[in-house]
Amino acid sequence: MILDFFRQGDAAQQAQPAPERKASAAAPVMAWPGAGRVAWTPRDAVSLTRTGFTGNPVGFRCVKMVAEAAAALPLVLQDAAQRYSDHPVLDLLAAPNPAQARAELFEALFGQLLLTGNAYLEAVAPENAMPLELHVLRSDRMSVVPGQDGWPVAFEYAVGGRKHRFDLRAGHPAVCHIKNFHPQDDHYGLSALTPAAQAVDVHNAASRWSKALLDNAARPSGAIVHKGTDGHGTLSPDQYDRLVAEMESHHQGARNAGRPMLLEGGLDWKPMGFSPADMEFQKTKEAAAREIALAFGVPPMLLGIPGDATYANYQEANRAFYRLTVLPLATRVAAAVGGWLSGFTGERMTLKPDLDQVPALAAERDAQWRRVTDADFLTDAEKRALLGLPALPEEGADG
Q: Concatenated DSSP letters for 154-214?
A: EEEEEETTEEEEEESSSSS-SEEEEE---TT-SSSPPPTTTTTHHHHHHHHHHHHHHHHHH
Say how many CA atoms lie within 13 Å of 136 toward its Cβ: 23
pLDDT tens for each residue of 232-249: 556 677 766 776 777 666
d(CA 106, CA 332): 13
Q: Is the pLDDT of residue 71 over 90?
A: yes
Q: Specify which residues 225 forms β-bridges with.
A: 268
* Type of residue at 121: L
d(CA 175, CA 210): 45
Q: Is the pLDDT of residue 259 over 70?
A: no
Please give the distance of CA 378 from its chain centroid, rounded to a whole number. 47
Other CB atoms within a 10 A radius of the CB of residue 332 amount to 14
Other CB atoms within a 10 A radius of the CB of residue 370 amount to 10
Q: Is the pLDDT of residue 100 over 80?
A: yes
d(CA 154, CA 173): 9
pLDDT at 325: 94
Other CB atoms within a 10 A radius of the CB of residue 213 amount to 16
pLDDT at 27: 36
The per-residue pLDDT of the chain, averaged, comes to 78
User: In the predicted model, what is the mean pLDDT of residues 351-362?
Assistant: 83
Q: Is the pLDDT of residue 399 over 50?
A: no
pLDDT tens for each residue of 26-43: 434 433 333 334 455 567
Strand residue runs (E) in the chain: 75-78, 83-84, 118-124, 133-137, 142-146, 152-159, 162-167, 175-179, 222-226, 267-271, 350-353
Q: What is the pTM of this model?
A: 0.73
Contact 196, 291 (CB under 8 A): yes
Contact 342, 349 (CB under 8 A): yes
User: In the predicted model, what is the mean pLDDT of residues 291-315?
Assistant: 83
Phi, psi of 220 (to 5 degrees): -70, 165
187 Cβ contact list (under 8 Å, min separation 6): 144, 146, 152
